[in-house]
A and B are shown apart, each in its own frame.
Chain A
Amino acid sequence: MKTKITAAIIGLILAGSVQAKDHNVDIKFSKGISKKFRKAMDRDLSVLERIDFKKEADQETLKVLGLDSLNADSATKWLEDRVQVVIEELSSRKLEKSIKIEERYFSFENAGVNPNIEIPTSTPSGKGVTVMSNLGAALYFAGKSAGSLFSFKVKTGFMKSETVKFSSPRAGLIMIGPGHFMERFDYDKNDRKAEANSYNRLATFFHEARHSDGAGKDLGFFHAVCPDGHDFQGLNACDRNLNGPYAVGAQMIKEFLKNCDNCDDEVQERMKLAYLGSTNRIIKVTKTVAEIDSFEVSMLQTTLDMKEILLPLLSGAELEAAQKEIAEIKAQILAIAEREGKIIEVPSKYVDASPEGRRIE
């Protein structure tokens, strides 16, 4: 009798802690995510599982995502392969405290080969609101730089937790923030639960999931600095490849829009603008300077290299001034190169998205 009552009580507690969800997508969620946000994400994933991609996918979409065909199953699997756990927004301090060293002197693939992290020449003021970010790729890179395997424990339920080991960018640890659910970013303002709003958030999810790919110099598909003349010039808000996160996000918006039965003219126009917004951040061509036999250019290049090395040590007004100087030096070098006919236009490519390493339990 006693055993039966105890079992019944435990059953009641467990039943209360199980979140009802309408999908089978194999992505875990932190217990710390608010119920409201969790419900929205479950709804988004259930939309993804049910979506009927009746219109044939663009060849460009298949190429960017590296798929043979696009349907609910392949799209879901694509996301599952790149996202393991979703956590709530954490401060840098809390995150730092929660990261553990799982193993020192871990053997990383492509040891010594690091991605090219471009330094912005413009720094926005203030922090803004978090939408979504891929911590997995960043923490893998941090661990690789330190030579240690990092890990992070996430509470996913009552007496349940998941330890994420950053053995690959495919660790797939995604952090969401309130920006991901803000009404002001909705495509469909008339109905918060409209599928179009799920498509909006899913496109962001796919964008972030792309950061879980890449190896060596292309690890994490880190963003590039937008070139001069671009709307976001000087900011780390572009991609210097044709299948990076912005390309993924853009193509998913396009496919969702093509297949949206409930999107009226207003919503369609907004989604088109979102598609163009992402597309605009894909740098198609990069102007680089070929070798010039010029003392002036050599001196400028040396000065530029020195200033770029010191940049991470600066902040505030000093940082702004240094960034301005760097931009001016680059412009001078480009002007000389153009005069000498020594500009090369390097087209961006479809980068090998195969990830470095693999997930380990």
Chain B
Amino acid sequence: MLMRHLKVEGLNKKTKITIALIFLTTAFFAVVFLLNKSKSNLPSAKTNLDSIQTSSSKKPENVDHTIKADMHVHSDKDHTHVIKVTKDGVQNQSEIWETTFFNNYLDETLSSLPTLKDLENLKDKDVHHDPEFVMEAGLRLGKIKKQVKLNKDFAPKAIEFYTNCANKEESFTPIRGLCLANLMIMKKEEGVEVDTSKFPKAVVDLAKKAMEFTF
């Protein structure tokens, strides 16, 4: 029927087939469009689920985010989120940590800092950039720095941590340097100068480099 309609004088067979294909393609897309349009009128299962969940959970803005001692707390594998589980259910990342949690985090970090022995297990291509375990240490040091900034009461414990970290002989030199820099900055705020003669030259040099940043 379509071919009869295409009985235009001068049109060759190839041209007729081309026009027929274009018509069929257009018809196909029109059908797909109409089918999608009709589907969108039905409520989605996801929308239903979302509305059920919203009604049973508290809105985050109304909840106190401080981690208290009676809460079960853990962090995910990357320590990206600190997750609290309370009797009301799982809640999101906390802004300010509770003291016990912070102190435990300091102890965990100190004991998990990479050592020079860990470098012995590195593979060939991995020696040319900072190893993964150093990146993870950086992650932890970053979280500690953030918490100390948010809560000045954490300062004494943080100073203790930075002292131990800078003194840890078997630890990776840049980490010791960063810890020493943070120690020197915090002590300077108390009007105290740190005796750097006790530390290896490489550690002191790196600490001075870190202190070139004004933040």
Using CB atoms and an 8 Å cutoff, list the residues of chain A in contact with chain B.
1-2, 5, 123-131, 177, 179, 184-185, 189-190, 204, 223, 231-232, 235-237, 254, 257-258, 264-270, 272-277, 279-280
Contact = CB atoms under 8 A, between A and B. Distances in A.
A278 to B, nearest CB: 8
29 contacts: A123-B124, A124-B122, A125-B123, A128-B123, A128-B124, A128-B126, A129-B123, A131-B125, A131-B128, A131-B129, A179-B125, A189-B78, A190-B80, A237-B127, A237-B128, A257-B213, A265-B142, A265-B146, A265-B149, A268-B142, A269-B138, A272-B178, A273-B141, A276-B178, A276-B209, A277-B130, A277-B134, A279-B206, A280-B206
Q: Is the interface of B mostly helix, strand, loop or mixed?
A: helix
B173 A231 contact: yes
Contacts of B209: 275-276, 279
Interface string B2-38: 0000000000001100100000000000000000000
A190 B80 CA distance: 7
Contact of A258 (B130, B146, B213): B213
B127 A235 contact: yes
Given A2-B14, A131-B128, A270 B139 contact: yes
A-B pairs with lowest CB-CB distance, top 7: A128-B123, A266-B142, A128-B125, A269-B142, A276-B174, A126-B123, A270-B138
Nearest to B213: A272
Interface in B169-188: 172-175, 177-178
Contacts of A275: 209-210
A342 to B, nearest CB: 22
Contacts, number: 118
Interface residues of B, number: 43
Contact of A267 (B137, B142, B175): B142
Contacts of A280: 173-174, 177, 202, 206
Contact of B146 (A127, A236, A266): A266
B210 to A, nearest CB: 6
A185 B15 CA distance: 57
A113 to B, nearest CB: 26
B210 A276 contact: yes
B71 interface: no
Contacts of A264: 146
Contact of A232 (B119, B121, B206): B119
A274 B137 CA distance: 11
A230 to B, nearest CB: 8
B149 to A, nearest CB: 6
Contacts of A267: 142
Given A127-B123, A128-B126, A184-B135, 19 more contacts: A127-B125, A128-B123, A129-B126, A131-B128, A190-B80, A231-B116, A236-B127, A254-B213, A265-B146, A269-B141, A270-B135, A270-B138, A272-B210, A272-B213, A273-B141, A273-B174, A274-B138, A275-B209, A277-B174
A316 to B, nearest CB: 14
Residue of A2, A127, A185, A231 with most partner-chain B CB within 10 A: A231
Contact of A231 (B14, B128, B137, B172): B172
B72 interface: no
Contact of A273 (B121, B128, B134, B202): B134
A58 to B, nearest CB: 8
Residue of B18, B126, B138, B215 with most partner-chain A CB within 10 A: B138
A273 to B, nearest CB: 4
B132 interface: yes
B58 interface: no
Contacts of B177: 276, 280
Contacts of A126: 123-124
A128 B122 contact: yes
B143 interface: yes
B145 interface: yes
A124 B130 contact: no
Interface string B105-132: 0000000000010010111111111101
A235 B137 CA distance: 22
B93 to A, nearest CB: 9
A131 B129 CA distance: 9
A269 to B, nearest CB: 4
Nearest to A129: B125
A236 B125 CA distance: 11
Interface string B75-95: 000101000000000000000
A306 B173 CA distance: 34
Contacts of B119: 231-232
Nearest to A269: B142
B123 A265 contact: no
Nearest to A124: B124
